[in-house]
Structure 1
Amino acid sequence: MHPYRAGISPAPAPEWRLRWSPSPARDGLRAFETVEDDRAGSHPAAAPHIRPEGDAFRFSLHTADRDTATDRQRQEVTGCRDGDSFLRWRAGETWRVTYSMLIPASLRATTTFTHIMQMKQPGTGSPPIAVQSLRRVNGVQTIELKVFTSNTLVGRTPLEPLHGHWVDVDFRIAIGSGSSGSVRWILSRAGRTVIDESRTGVATFLADRVRPKWGIYRSLGDTSGSLRDCHLLLGNLRCHQLVR
């Protein structure tokens, strides 16, 4: 018997439910679970390195800045705070973060790591799960996304055409261990898709939970002469959970 004739309604289609939409002016840095602003106290004269600026969050990084590991620099925020609590992304769930970013020409791709978004489990010492990075490839500045745990390149596109322009990011992650995870990465500029790439059958879960990190996390080992005082702007941050 047809389910409609039996009075049985079909299951609702999965939908993206908005779970987080901070305002820099209203929420400030309370929008995030943690703030890692010059955690080694290396450059207090430039504080704060992370702050609201108009409708965006600004992450400033200077050549003088050092992290607690002195071969690198870090100005980052983690997680999605909602009032007195924060979102917990668990295995078996699917999440989506969208935002706009402006990468000035002073924030260059490097021969070693420069990450501007990471997916990680909480705690120190654990590797990232996925990273959005600015990397020099055969001398060319690129922006890329990798699943770090398996060194799987999801996608890569030239960075220089994006310098100085607002770029929209759409990142989706199905959280799963082994080969049960997947990611999708979309960059758009002025309504035009720059890159849209996906990978399935990848590990996107280590332990406990997953949370996003944004900011600038940069190695000092670059050999291209690309290290400059720089900043990154992020706006229109949104987080959705796929609800079935």
Structure 2
Amino acid sequence: MLKKVLTLNAILVLSGCVTTAGVTDAIPATTVRGDTIISQTQLKADGPEKEDTYTLIRDAFGPRAIEAPDLYGNANHQGVRHITEGMDERVGNYFKFVIHRDDDHDRDVLLKSDRQRNEIKVYGGSKSALKGHLGDTFEYRWKFRLGDNLAVTKHFTHIFQLKAVKGKSSDAITSSPILTLTANIRHGHSGLEVRHVGYNANKTGTVNNTLYHTAKHDIDWKNDILGHWFEVYVRANYSESGSLYMTVTPLGESTPMIEVTQNNIEMWRSGSDGSRSNFVRPKWGIYRSLKAIDQLNKEEDEVDFADFEVTKISPKKP
């Protein structure tokens, strides 16, 4: 694994990208496309024969960044690594996330629950530079590929989430993610959904709002989505009247398959409370409902990820 501090040069200013292996952070501020990079962390797979996969992830996001079934409890699916690494001709090294319908559980919930997960995350113990605080603007980039035969239901299979954390509060409102990229069935068709969750009118609960679903467009699940690599870009401004821009683009193409632009959208759940214990965090992996378990594959399901990048920026002033 390569872990180092990079000094950005003129090439970066022009291209707006960083190319390195392993983990990169503490990048000095510089101007990219008119914005200023405050900090940037990259997590890249380095291959199955190199650095231990879990160590690689923990070095990037923190010691407790992994929520894999093999890390929780004797009644869970121990002895099987649920995040490993592979090599692909198109993206190079990548992270392979797997989940097993009848063996995996939801973290330390040992009795069968209505959901299961295999995720990595930013959390309270992560570096401050990875956490979105009130008024911050962040960019997230990564690549993903759904397994060739991944089965989904009308219930959720989240592969990305932006979640609000309000100190040590157990407030149920904060438990619903602000934003998800979800695989599910809508209108009788499997597809990908970008979903925003905001407060209801009196802020006693939340309301789901689908910003985009491939089932409403001429995008075929089996031919256009399963087994294909995609690049994702998310730009989020964290405030009660924030902004969101998101694209999901087939690898190697310039036209997004999914494009979402939202202004004056709720991207913060703590009102005017800008306490440093309140933040928004990203999560990636497989987090799915088991409410229609008979519709899921009985054996192993897989989602692959590559080239995670978390960048805090200071936007160019008008």
TM tier relative to shorter chain: 0.7 to 0.9
Q: TM-score, normalised by structure 2?
A: 0.65
Matched, 1:35 2:66: yes
Matched, 1:240 2:274: no
Measured in 2, the distance between the counterparts of 1:137 and 1:223 equals 17
Q: TM-score, normalised by structure 1?
A: 0.83
Question: 8 Å contact 1:103–1:165 — kept in the other structure?
Answer: yes
Q: Which residue of 2 aligns with 1:77?
A: 120
The share of aligned pairs that are identical, in percent, is 25
- 1:154-177 CA deviation, whole Å, 9 max, x = no partner? 212143311111111111211112
Structure 1 position 108, deviation (Å): 2.6
Decide which of 171, 189, 203 is 1:140's aligned counterpart. 189
Bigger helix fraction: 2
Q: Which stretch shows the higher mean deviation, 124-133 or 90-99?
A: 124-133
Q: Which residue of 2 aligns with 1:58?
A: 96
- 1:117-144 CA deviation, whole Å, 9 max, x = no partner? 1111346652211111011012201101
Question: 8 Å contact 2:152–2:183 — kept in the other structure?
Answer: yes
Question: 8 Å contact 1:89–1:211 — kept in the other structure?
Answer: yes
Decide which of 198, 212, 234 is 1:155's aligned counterpart. 212
- 1:71-107 CA deviation, whole Å, 9 max, x = no partner? 11111110189x9765221111111111110111232
Q: Which residue of 1 aligns with 2:9?
A: none
Matched, 1:127 2:193: no
* Number of residue equivalences: 230
Alignment of 1:1-244 (within 5 A): 14-15=34-35, 17=37, 19-25=40-46, 28-30=56-58, 31-33=60-62, 34-38=65-69, 40-41=72-73, 42-46=76-80, 48-54=81-87, 55-63=93-101, 64-67=103-106, 68=109, 70-79=113-122, 87-122=130-165, 126-149=175-198, 150-157=207-214, 158=219, 159-160=221-222, 161-177=224-240, 180-189=241-250, 190-191=252-253, 192-207=255-270, 208-222=278-292, 225-228=295-298, 229-244=300-315
Question: 8 Å contact 2:61–2:127 — kept in the other structure?
Answer: no
Measured in 1, the distance between the counterparts of 2:34 and 2:147 equals 37
Question: 8 Å contact 1:154–1:185 — kept in the other structure?
Answer: no
Label 1:193 to 1:80 Cα distance change in 2 as closer, same or farther (>3 A): farther
Name the SS for the 1:28 alignment partner.
helix
Measured in 1, the distance between the counterparts of 2:301 and 2:282 equals 22
Structure 1 position 182, deviation (Å): 1.9
Counterpart of 1:165, as a letter, is: H
RMSD: 2.6
Measured in 2, the distance between the counterparts of 1:227 and 1:118 equals 23
Measured in 1, the distance between the counterparts of 2:45 and 2:176 equals 29
Question: 8 Å contact 2:72–2:78 — kept in the other structure?
Answer: no
Question: 8 Å contact 1:60–1:232 — kept in the other structure?
Answer: yes
Name the SS for the 1:193 alignment partner.
coil
Measured in 2, the distance between the counterparts of 1:193 and 1:85 equals 31
Name the SS for the 1:105 alignment partner.
coil
Q: Which stretch shows the higher mean deviation, 13-22 or 86-95?
A: 13-22
Name the SS for the 2:295 alignment partner.
coil
